[in-house]
Amino acid sequence: MAQQRAQRGRHGRDEWRGRGERRESPRRPRTAREVALTVLREVEDADAYANLLLPGRLRNAELSPRDASLATELTYGTLRMQGLYDAVVRAAADRDPADLDPLTRQAVRMGAHQLLSMRIADHAAVSETIDALRALGGARASGLTNAVLRRVAEASAEEWLERLTAGAGETEVRALRTSHPGWIVRALALALRRHRRPDAEDGGLDRLLAADNTPARVTLAALPGLADPDEIAAGAGHRGALSPLAVVLESGDPREVDGVAEARVRVQDEGSQLIALALVEASMQADAEDEAAEGPRWLDLCAGPGGKTAVLGALAAQLGGSVDAVDSSAHRARLVRDSVRASADAVAVSQADGREFAAARPGRYSGVLVDAPCSGLGALRRRPEARWRRRPEDIAALAPVQRGLLSAALEACRPGGVVAYSTCSPHWAETGVIVDEVLADVENLEVLDAAAVLARVTGGDADSFASAPRAGGRFAQLWPDVHGTDGMFLALLRRKRD
């Protein structure tokens, strides 16, 4: 093998890399494949997220609805199944995709997605992918890309999987079949057990991994007092299954829905809506017991980009209360201000370290939300590229920040008030471990039954939300395959009165 590679010489290596240093100037993307390939390249080059890039690229290209749907599937499908496609390309071409220049690498992955996972004729998948590559400046790599994709097309996805997994262990097979890094497969298996999900040993892992590869529905939040979810649903889709604010968009551009432009209606996952509503539900008791309270006073410590803040702000405006929203990033603080435009009088937005902000305001708030920075493993269906960016060491690196934010939130919470600790991840080290460590250090705390609170908000069954029980209460965990939401974790902690 080494001798064969040496014989390829400089010319073979330059062809494989697509001679990226000498590309011709690309034109603005005009077709579905050009748009998808452009986004895939940007996602890799700039560590951007496809769900933030793609809508703008689709608008600029002025694609038909059919072509926009194709570009969306090409983008997200390629990102989701990247691990499998890279393994197939290695086997088919006897080369590592890492040796390709970025544009050619993404073209090969996108072509593999069409050949192995879409009902597109082989000749069309290959030729139109190469056309897109050429249009974006990759003509020099078209011959190589053509040869690689034709080798990929020689077998079906199942046939490639049989070859690639022969003799592999159970985790490796799952990782390749579902295109997840092995460490994420192991982490999710542990999460199912630690959260005590009933099917943890009976197919739950396979269902969860499959849900990560199922496109998330576009869900809207009709903000309380600002929009009527029934009216929005009548014109745009149907009511959500869990959140009283939720409307599931059936088709079309959410920007065209009445109320979105004015920030009275927002694109927001149902799970995210439920976290904010659960804090309100749990903290209202503290306000009811405080005769001096003029209205609820809530704090959102990690507010960006502002979806949960918008829900809190709309409710605070109705109840004569207020929200302090904090984010350490100037960009994310601006997003929060934009998100709460419709209830701006009730919300004060600050750019600050949430830990410092909370510590300087001890005992001020009846409810504090800590939507902590996390790995995002609960939102892989929405941000599929995240699975390839995260590393196991990221979990440990985030833990001090998560603990610090939760501890500061408890300090800012007044006696009788409630802190909601949430992550968009079921990873046990980001959820139960963090809460248990803080509980061990802070006195006079009560663990509420977060599952029961969610049941009151949704009208559902508390046991369907229940995670690991604790003395006097329970955590809650939402699952993409069970609830159709992002994988949100929730713990509700009440400061006991003296």
CB 302 within 8 A of CB 336: no
- Residue 49, both tokens: 């997220």
Look up tokens 């592999």; give the residue: 168
Check if the beta carbon of residue 281 is closer than 8 Å to that of residue 273.
no
Beta strands in 285-438 (DSSP E): 297-300, 322-327, 347-351, 365-371, 413-423
Contact 476, 460 (CB under 8 A): no
- Angle at Cα 286 formed by Cα 282 and Cα 290, nearest 5°? 160
Question: Is 424 one of the annotated active-site residues of the chain?
Answer: yes
Query: What's the rounded Cα separation, in Å, for the pair 141 and 139?
Result: 5
Peptide bond just before 305 cis, omega within 30 deg:
yes
Catalytic residue among 302, 374, 413, 424: 424
Which residues neighbour 121 within 8 Å (Cβ) at sequence distance 6 or greater? none
Q: Helix, strand, or coil here: 18?
A: coil
Rounded CA separation 477/485 (Å) = 10
CB-CB contact of 184 with 377 (8 Å): yes
Cα–Cα distances in Å, from 242 out to 112, 224, 239, 460? 37, 15, 9, 8
Q: Compute how many other C-beta atoms are within 10 angstroms of the C-beta atom of residue 208.
A: 27
CB within 8 Å of 272: residues ≥ 6 apart = 307, 308, 424, 485, 486, 488
- Is 188 exposed, middle or buried, given 0-12, 13-18 or 19+ CB atoms closer than 10 A? buried
Tokens found for residue 82: 């990247």
CA distance linking residue 180 with residue 96, whole number of Å: 18
Distance CA 267, CA 52 (A): 12
In the block, tokens 């979806």 appear at 307
> Measured between alpha carbons, how far is 47 from 398 in angstroms, rounded to an integer?
19
Active site residues: 424
